[in-house]
Amino acid sequence: MSNTNSSFLNSLKGILLTVVGIVVVLLLQHFVFSLKSQPQTSNTEIEKRIQPLASVVITPLPKQPSTAVTTTEATASAQNKVSDTTSTSSGTKESVASNDNTQVGKKTFEAICTGCHSSGALGAPKFGNKKDWAPRIAQGINALYHSAINGKNSMPAKGGNPSLTDAEVKAAVDYMVTAAK
Ligand code: HEC
């Protein structure tokens, strides 16, 4: 009986060891697979969740300084326009003195020369703008007559109207020069 008992116990131990061995191997496999697979999926998931959040935070930042610059530029140009119009109106008041030459000059200016000299188109010295006219006036009135009658760069001869007499053109030059003094 003792022999059969011990052989039965031995075979039982063998079965138990085999079962334990299989369980250990299965547990190790599961542990190794979970180590390999878990960090990979979690990394890609984190990257997917972070990417859209990061792009939303970054894009609005460069827009803020650019809008600030354009608003300061707009106010600066608005201030320039205000100073231009005030200088024009003061120039008109100064040229009230009326004689025939002034009337001819005014008519000629309003018919022809205003097209460029009121707006400053093509870089023309603006009517009544002392800054624009000071270096021109410094050339002497005869140089200005000559430029107005014969043309200069973008300034066409007689303002592009050859039917004007020299006297009319000179009167218009006098009118603009007086307004800018
Ligand atoms: C088509 C546009 C235009 C018209 C019209 C025009 N001008 Fe001009 N004028 C100019 C421009 C541009 C200049 C600046 C030329 C330069 O110095 O390069 C100028 C400059 C002048 C100057 C300064 C010249 C100098 O030597 O510095 C006088 C004076 C002048 N114009 C008179 C007149 C008179 C008078 C009329 C009308 C009969 C007239 N302009 C019509 C565009 C025009």
Query: Which has more pLDDT, 15 or 35?
Result: 15
> Does 122 share its domain with 45?
no
Query: What is the CATH classification number for the domain harbouring 159?
Result: 1.10.760.10
Q: pTM to 2 decimals?
A: 0.57
Query: Rounded CA gap, 102 and 108, in Å?
Result: 10
Placement of tokens 């859209």 in the chain: 52
Is 168 exposed, middle or buried (CB count within 10 Å of its CB: 0-12, 13-18, 19+)?
buried
> Does 54 share its domain with 68?
no
Mean pLDDT of 46-57: 64
Which pLDDT does position 55 carry in this prediction?
Answer: 58
Q: Which residues have a Cβ under 8 Å from the Cβ of 141 and sit 6 or more positions away?
A: 173, 174, 177
Q: For the chain, give the percent of residues with pLDDT over 90.
A: 45
Range of the domain at 17: 2-58
> Does 170 share its domain with 135?
yes
> Residue of the nearest CA to atom 14 in ligand 1?
124
> Does 127 share its domain with 172?
yes
Mean pLDDT of 79-95: 44
**Which of 16, 35, 58 is at the close of a domain?**
58
70 within ligand 1 shell (Cβ under 6 A): no
Question: Which of the four pLDDT bands, split at 50, 70 and 90, describes residue 27?
Answer: confident
**Which of 43, 58, 73 is at the close of a domain?**
58
- What's the number of domains the chain is made of? 2
Which pLDDT does position 13 carry in this prediction?
Answer: 86
**Residue 67 above 70 pLDDT?**
no
Atom of ligand 1 nearest to the CA of 122: 12
Query: Rounded CA gap, 137 and 130, in Å?
Result: 10
> Does 126 share its domain with 39?
no
> Residue of the nearest CA to atom 28 in ligand 1?
148
> Does 48 share its domain with 94?
no
116 within ligand 1 shell (Cβ under 6 A): yes
Mean pLDDT of 1-24: 79
Which residue among 155, 161, 169 is best mutated to probe the pocket of ligand 1, counting the most ligand atoms within 8 A of its Cβ? 155
115 within ligand 1 shell (Cβ under 6 A): yes
Query: Rounded CA gap, 12 and 173, in Å?
Result: 127
112 within ligand 1 shell (Cβ under 6 A): yes
- 126-176 pLDDT, tens digit each: 999 999 999 999 999 999 999 999 999 999 999 999 999 999 999 999 999
> Does 71 share its domain with 37?
no
> Does 76 share its domain with 154?
yes
**Which of 25, 42, 58 is at the close of a domain?**
58
